[in-house]
Amino acid sequence: MFLFPAALLKRKLKACSYSLVVATFGVVSLSSFSNSTFLATEAHAADKAATEKGVVNIYSYRQPYLVKPLLEEFTKQTGIQTKVIFAKKGLIERIAAEGKLSPADVLLTVDIGRLSAAVEKGISQPVKSSAIEGNIPAKYRSAKGDWFGLTVRSRVVYASKDRVGQDAISYEELADPKWRGKICMRSGQHVYNVAMIASMIAHNGTEKTKTWLKGLKANLARKPSGNDRAQIKAVFAGQCDLAIGNTYYMGKMQNNEKKPEQKKWAASVKLLFPNTKTRGAHVNLSGMVLAKHAPNKEAAVKLMEFLSSEKAQQIYSKVNFEYPVKEGVAWSDLVKSWGEFKADDLALDKIAELRKAASLLVDETDLNNGPSS
């Protein structure tokens, strides 16, 4: 069970507060609620627990089952225990609100936008580690050491095997009128799509990207909604021929025993990695940040070094269906089966800088209202 310092528990966290819903294997899963206040009584033992040696307190946007194998291996190798708080949103704001009394040591999150937001909101501190720098290429980490990528995922096109004959595509082609009424996607304001659009601005400029978005909007089969898997389901159902989604969802669907119908969705599509013959496919990251006021800094840095190591990178590739950031680490057999992958070398810092401009273009082009009737 995760314990909080008594002084901290008394504080009113106006930005976001939490309600406990489940606690398993050292993981506390939380639901966040806005415009509410979290209050607690004295807990002297909690003050000591937050700073006890041999423990790393992790705030994670990544689901518990994805990080559990990694943390178990870390504890096996080092003897250092881990305690995890999981939430789908609000953790960056929570750490900021907790301030100097925050028990957070490490933040695990996805998307360059969230990694850069951690820096912008002042909840991170730089890390200088020859091990981490040796494991993670410069393009996948902050130049100042404020954040580090752990895995790579690509924003690709899921194409119907039955209705799409071509085996190559570019992002630019998604605006071609030949795809009129045949593309499905989630909200253009979702962080995954904002990052993709930011990469288009970086390569093609604002005006060309705006024109491209208008073409993409015209080619949509329906108003953007749902998550990535919902778009692939729509291809399976014949509602569209192309869907935009992250690579790892293919692995999740292919291995989904709880919802076996998703295996059929996966079997109905093929992955097309855009711009393979030119600049390469847009990539994003899952990553980590050392909390600004980490009470267990030494142990936290050891965890960060471990997560960048070959062993951890192998686990990431196998369990999470993602691409390792560490060069030389083999992809899992399943990931290999998806085909050739050339990653865009565009620095992720550049994408972070252009996220606001990308979000504005989504609104300017009215992308989220779908194709005009």
Domain with 176 in it: what CATH number? 3.40.190.10
Same domain, 25 and 39: yes
The alpha helices in 121-169, defined as continuous H runs, are 130-135
Residue type, 202: A
Phi and psi at 93, nearest 5°, equal: -65, -35
Does position 47 have pLDDT exceeding 60, yes or no? no
Same domain, 91 and 169: no
Q: Which strand (E) or helix (H) includes residue 70?
A: helix 64-78
Are the CB atoms for 252 and 211 separated by under 8 Å?
no
Q: What integer pLDDT is reported at residue 54 of this predicted model? A: 86
User: What is the pLDDT confidence band of residue 373, given thresholds at 50, 70 and 90?
Assistant: low
Residue type, 183: I
Give the domain extent around 219.
Answer: 154-282+336-369
Q: Which long-range contacts (CB under 8 A, 24 or more apart) does 45-49 make?
A: 45/3, 46/3, 46/4, 46/5, 46/6, 46/9, 47/5, 47/6, 47/7, 49/3
Same domain, 18 and 65: yes
Q: Is residue 1 part of a domain?
A: no
Tell me the pTM.
0.84
Q: Rounded to a whole number, what is the distance in angstroms from the first to the last CA of the chain?
A: 53
State the Cα angle at 261 between 256 and 265, rounded to 5°: 90
Same domain, 222 and 352: yes
Q: What is the pLDDT of residues 138-177, one digit of tens each?
A: 999 999 999 999 999 999 999 999 999 999 999 999 999 9
Going from the C-alpha of 148 to that of each of 194, 246, 329, the distances in angstroms are 20, 20, 17
Q: For the chain, what is the domain count? A: 2
